[in-house]
Amino acid sequence: MKIYCLLFTVYCLLSNCRWLIANSEFIQVPMVIHVHSNFSDGEHSVEDIAQIAERKGIKSVIFSDHALMRWEYGLWPLQDILKKRVDKNSVLKYGAKRYFQKIEEVQKKYPEILFLPGVESAPFYYWSGKHFKYHLTLHNWHKHLLITGLNHPNDYENLPLVSNPNAGVWSFKSIVLLWPLSLLVIGYWVLVKKKERKLTFGSQILIAHSRAYKVLGIVIILVGLLFLVNNYPYKYFPYDQYHGDKGVGPYQNLIQYVNAKGGVIFWAHPEAPNWEKPQEINGITLQTPIYPGDLLKTNNYTGFAILYEGYKEVGTPGGIWDQILNQYCKGIREKPIWALGELDYKAEGYLGTYLDSIQNVLLMEKQGSGKVGERVSEEEAIECLKKGRFYVLQKAKDYVVKLEEFKIETEEGKAIMGEEIRYSKPPKIKFEIKGEYELPKVLTPIKIKLIRGGEIIKIFEQHLPLEIEYIDNIESSDKTYYRLDITGPQGGKVFSNPIFVIK
């Protein structure tokens, strides 16, 4: 008997690890992301935020201070010397090392909560208009991505962002940036070369040395030195703010960088309308159109923020998110993308946002570090984000909707969010939803849209708590997915991540 158990365990480990995961119990770990501290433009210190998190029962906080808040406009051709710079508080201004240290200190004081460093980044911006006519426009400054899971402060210091001097790399193209050296050589040659003119007066010959050549030599050397300073530190970076819109290039470049370093990267607020119309600040016009379409044009990022500003075009049933998930199912895309809930937290109650207003509930295996009462490990939290093993919730005023369980059962076993499972008979979709109430029960029913491959296949309207088992007589044999879109009264919301099925 023992030998069979052993063989079965070995078989499970070798053949189908997912089976083990899917059949284990999970605990739910509320995590919040896009939290600004006073390291950038937030009001509270890292320590204050930790205290608030403890009070509110948040088990993981991902700090997302601005990576860089630096805009520069320089005059051609010495754009890096003759420039105006605005440099507001940011992680790179004060140093990623200090940011890490600060968060580590707080981690020691609050061992039961996981605190992670991360950033909100604007990899690119560009100028239009003429400075001397006083109408410059700063474009796309508010097109943002959230990054976390990079292990070393240097990985943040070197983020490929326009106006980050560490962004570039040494390459053969650096040689081009050293072109002013040729001016030094030419200047020196002009300076030392004796220029003589022979003047003949009758039988007398006079030799005149020209001072003009000396002056010319010195001028050429000085110009060379100026450009050498301008081009410092001679690192090559393919993007700058002076050559117009570069499409999604700089954003895809950042995504590749973060993936190579093992981090996670989410598009932030793709539909935020705040900067849609041009706004003037200190004589400069700022404008960032909404960018849901960029989610289709980029790939290999971890996901996007469905809340607050990513639902109307992206997260809605049949929207851009579903288009992308279908591309993945058809093999057009390498990876699926996950929905995330972001806070854009500046202070407790600022613009109606509190630290627990929008949460990402991570599903942690009980056998792992997610044991009740114990802190989850960084590796597991990042793994949940990478694999889509979480759902997004928005708290309502008097209650919270919780997705206690969401799984798909087939003859093959069970699958949870982010996983894939095979079926031959119609798959069984199971979910369990509960409400946590602060006031007497909210009686209005909640609405659950069950979505398959971007289409709503069933709408349930029921009071909480509820448990549903639905067998889907699916006709097509293509790979597809199921997800839940749940709305309740007073703005209570839950968005699950998808579970994939294949015949």
Q: What is the DSSP string of 170-220?
A: --TTHHHHTTHHHHHHHHHHHHHS--EEEEEETTEEEEEE-HHHHHHHHHH
What dihedral angle (degrees, nearest 10) is formed by the CA atoms of 412, 416, 418, 420? 10
Closest CA to 500 of 452, 430, 468, 458: 452
Q: Does 66 bind Zn ion (CB under 5 A)?
A: no
| Token pair listed for 468 | 């549903």
> For Zn ion, which residue has the nearest CB?
144
Residue 11: asked if its preceding bond is cis (omega within 30°), the reply is no
> Which residue lies nearer to Zn ion by CB, 144 or 493?
144
- Run of H or E residues at 30: strand 26-35
> Which residue lies nearer to Zn ion by CB, 70 or 144?
144
> Which residue lies nearer to Zn ion by CB, 144 or 483?
144
Min dist. Cβ of residue 47 to Zn ion (A) = 23
Q: Which residues of 363-394 are buried (b: 16+ CB within 10 A; e: fewer)?
A: bbbeebebeeeebbebebbbbbbbbbbbbbbb
Give the count of residues interacting with Zn ion (CB under 5 A): 1
Query: Which x/- pattern, by CB under 5 A, does the window 133-152 give for Zn ion?
Result: -----------x--------
Min dist. Cβ of residue 35 to Zn ion (A) = 12
> Which residue lies nearer to Zn ion by CB, 144 or 246?
144
| Token pair listed for 92 | 């790179």
Min dist. Cβ of residue 68 to Zn ion (A) = 13
> Which residue lies nearer to Zn ion by CB, 308 or 399?
308
> Which residue lies nearer to Zn ion by CB, 274 or 462?
274
Min dist. Cβ of residue 34 to Zn ion (A) = 8
Min dist. Cβ of residue 146 to Zn ion (A) = 8
> Which residue lies nearer to Zn ion by CB, 144 or 407?
144
Identify each DSSP E strand in 411-445 by its residue range.
413-415, 420-422, 428-437
Min dist. Cβ of residue 127 to Zn ion (A) = 20
Min dist. Cβ of residue 426 to Zn ion (A) = 43
Residue pair 316/445 in contact (Cβ under 8 Å)? The answer is no
Residue pair 209/195 in contact (Cβ under 8 Å)? The answer is yes
For the chain, give the number of residues. 503
Residues lying near Zn ion in the complex (CB under 5 A): 144
